Chain A
Amino acid sequence: MKKKAYLGIDIGSISTKGVIISEENEFLAECYLWTEGNPMQATKNVLCRLKEQFDDAGYRIVASGTTGSARKLVGSMIGAQVVKNEITAHAVGTTTLHPDVRTILEIGGQDSKIICVENGVAVDYAMNTLCAAGTGAFLSSQAHRLGVAVEEFGEIALRAKKAAPIAARCTVFAESDLVHKLQVGCPKEEIIAGLCKAVAGNYLNNVAKGKKIAAPVVFQGGVSKNAGVVRMFEEELGMPVLVDERGHLMGAFGIAVLAGEQQEDAGFSFDVADMEFRTREIICGKCANHCEIICVYRESRLIDSWGNRCDNGAVS
């Protein structure tokens, strides 16, 4: 008899993550790649990679879940049993691996969030609103300007004796500030350290504003791979900041854990990776709201639709 396994996929705007876990929450397969503006193709690619790693003889996937900004689309595509927001998925994933965690910091490519946890369950959260200053995209563009690979940022920042003061309230100001520092001869590593400090400071003053940050603190998202930002957080908060090696997979892991709580044995087939999926956006003309309705087709047959504000716009 094959052992039970659960699939979780986290489809973000920048990257798509997938994991398969056992009933004991062990990672059986994992994958991380770029979404490249095509969540359905990215999901297919993730599924192919997971399939390669997956022990087909020993395990059977009995339930699946999706999270992230394309959760709905991919959820209907793979027939997921659980489709949940990324706050809950991250909170579940992190509290499963770190039961005592109190604060989860997350900085991704375009968004950032904070989740406050008490007794192993989220009590409060915040997400950045319209502005992407201080996220991964910001660090990437500044790295490009400095002619440094963003992956080296952390290491370079740690070498700096001090951090150059850089305003990170807004990307535009940060950029002109940075150019100014370069022009007056400030060493590059101090500027990079300054950028890392600015990211941490910006996060604490914006997303985390008014939130109580209690230890233990776990830091996740792409930017958590930057040791410079980690150190700046530790200095600003005056407490250790834990970075999980699998922090970038926590959303996918969390949704897989939630899928595991499903009672029914729904099954899952990797065949969806070979099927043809298509979406179509239609503008409903039944009233003045002109809702944009998304229709999802599998092998030319409608399997799901959403976006209508009222029943008049229901597509069948």
Chain B
Amino acid sequence: MREIRTIGIPRGLMAYRDGVLWKEFFERLGFVCAVSPKSDRELLGKGTACAVDETCLPFKMYLGHVIWLIGKCDVIFIPRMGGYDTREKMCTRYEALPDLVRNIFRDEQIRVLTVSYDWYTKTTEEKVYLELGALLGKSKKETKKAYGHARKRQEAWLKVKEREQDHALEGGKIKVLLAGHPYVLHDAYMGGELARILRKMDVEVIYTDYADREGALRKSYDLSRVMPWLINREITGALFMLRRKVDGIILVSAYPCGPDALVNDMLVRKLKDIPVLSLTLDAQSGTAGVETRMESFIDIIRYQKAGGYGNKDR
């Protein structure tokens, strides 16, 4: 086996949530990280070409990022995340991720660095990272220290995002909350497009994942005791923490997402006193449909605020 120097991180899926932690952790342990670039149509096209039709758009995009990393690193980091608690699981895509990638790229013989955890074997995040450090041949002491730093770095990063967002919430612009999985909201080709269109309409874009994670998770239990997915819990909790501070909510989902299909349907029913728009993104290249829907939605908010269309006094 070749010595590992450079670890590849695909800019997709949970990298949008935990990427700061991963990168810092590996770098603290003395590795170099190669992160794939922002998503674009070419990466999606390449990913789609090697994925089965029925799988979700973010997974196809993820595969595009994996392809980009081939030949640019010694190993690609693809964790298998099951979740730490039965009511805070990850979707099946994550439970199968390294296996899926290995199988899809069996001809390319890519080397995958993985670590695995599940809700049915009691563990903690720290233990998982200690295991990862051991896999990379690092001592327990080094790894523990690296994890500690990485954890802090991630928390600090999120705090900055939170603070920036709090500041934006004070402003006078129309504020729209984008609620969805971080890897949909912040992917340049998916949520990035929505944010671009909204900003063009002079709207302040607020995100559900720039909120206190633990707080959001706790809050989600007020709304559902049984919901089994961690990320949907974080979305739901943050949504209810932020909803009084925004003028409208867009539930953003990438087609097809099982957890979103169930949870967003519930959210639409629970969010009664605020304009809500449900948007499902798919691989369609044109943004006209999405643009019309968002424009109509912003019009509703604007004219509501203005108190009518101005057609009454004529």
Tell me the A residues contacting B by CB distance below 8 Å.
23-25, 69, 84-88, 91-92, 95-96, 99, 119-125, 127, 129, 210, 257-258, 260-261, 287-290, 292, 309
Size range of the interface on B? 20 to 34
Sample (24) of A-B pairs whose CB atoms are under 8 Å apart: A24-B314, A25-B314, A69-B288, A69-B292, A85-B299, A86-B296, A87-B296, A88-B303, A92-B309, A95-B311, A121-B300, A121-B304, A121-B308, A122-B299, A127-B293, A129-B280, A257-B309, A257-B314, A288-B41, A289-B41, A290-B42, A292-B286, A309-B196, A309-B287
Interface: B295 (CB within 8 A): yes
Select one of B41, B275, B285 contacting A123, CB under 8 A.
B275
**A121-B307, A123-B304, A124-B275 given; A84·B299 CB < 8 A:** yes
**A120-B308, A287-B40, A290-B41 given; A125·B288 CB < 8 A:** no
Nearest residue, chain A, Cβ from B197: A309
Tell me the B residues contacting A by CB distance below 8 Å.
40-43, 189, 193, 196, 268-269, 275-276, 280, 285-288, 292-293, 295-297, 299-300, 303-304, 307-312, 314
Cβ of A97 to closest chain B Cβ, rounded Å: 9
- Contact call B311/A92, Cβ cutoff below 8 A: yes
Residues from chain A with Cβ under 8 Å of B42 in the complex: 288-290
Residues from chain B with Cβ under 8 Å of A309 in the complex: 193, 196, 287
**A210-B268, A288-B40, A309-B193 given; A121·B275 CB < 8 A:** no
Residues from chain B with Cβ under 8 Å of A69 in the complex: 288, 292
In order of increasing CB-CB distance, the 3 nearest A-B pairs are: A288-B42, A87-B296, A288-B40
Nearest residue, chain A, Cβ from B297: A125
- Contact call B308/A119, Cβ cutoff below 8 A: yes
A93 to B42, CA, bound (A): 43
Residues from chain B with Cβ under 8 Å of A287 in the complex: 40
A156 to B22, CA, bound (A): 68
**A95-B311, A124-B275, A289-B189 given; A85·B300 CB < 8 A:** no
A289 to B192, CA, bound (A): 13
Residues from chain B with Cβ under 8 Å of A124 in the complex: 275-276, 300
Residues from chain B with Cβ under 8 Å of A257 in the complex: 309, 311, 314
Nearest residue, chain B, Cβ from A125: B296
A124 to B293, CA, bound (A): 11
Residues from chain B with Cβ under 8 Å of A260 in the complex: 314
Nearest residue, chain A, Cβ from B310: A261
Nearest residue, chain A, Cβ from B285: A292
Residues from chain A with Cβ under 8 Å of B286 in the complex: 292
Residue of A85, A99, A257, A292 with most chain B CB atoms under a 10 A cut-off: A85
Residues from chain B with Cβ under 8 Å of A95 in the complex: 309, 311
A257 to B189, CA, bound (A): 37
Cβ of A66 to closest chain B Cβ, rounded Å: 13
Select one of A85, A92, A127, A288 contacting B43, CB under 8 A.
A288
- Contact call A86/B304, Cβ cutoff below 8 A: no
A122 to B309, CA, bound (A): 9
- Contact call B295/A85, Cβ cutoff below 8 A: yes
Cβ of A182 to closest chain B Cβ, rounded Å: 35
A280 to B310, CA, bound (A): 38
A187 to B90, CA, bound (A): 53
Select one of A120, A123, A290 contacting B300, CB under 8 A.
A123
Give me 17 other A-B pairs in contact (C-beta within 8 A), A95-B311, A121-B300 excluded: A87-B296, A87-B300, A88-B303, A92-B309, A95-B309, A120-B309, A122-B300, A123-B300, A124-B275, A124-B276, A125-B296, A127-B293, A129-B280, A257-B309, A288-B40, A289-B41, A289-B189
Nearest residue, chain B, Cβ from A130: B282
Residues from chain B with Cβ under 8 Å of A91 in the complex: 309
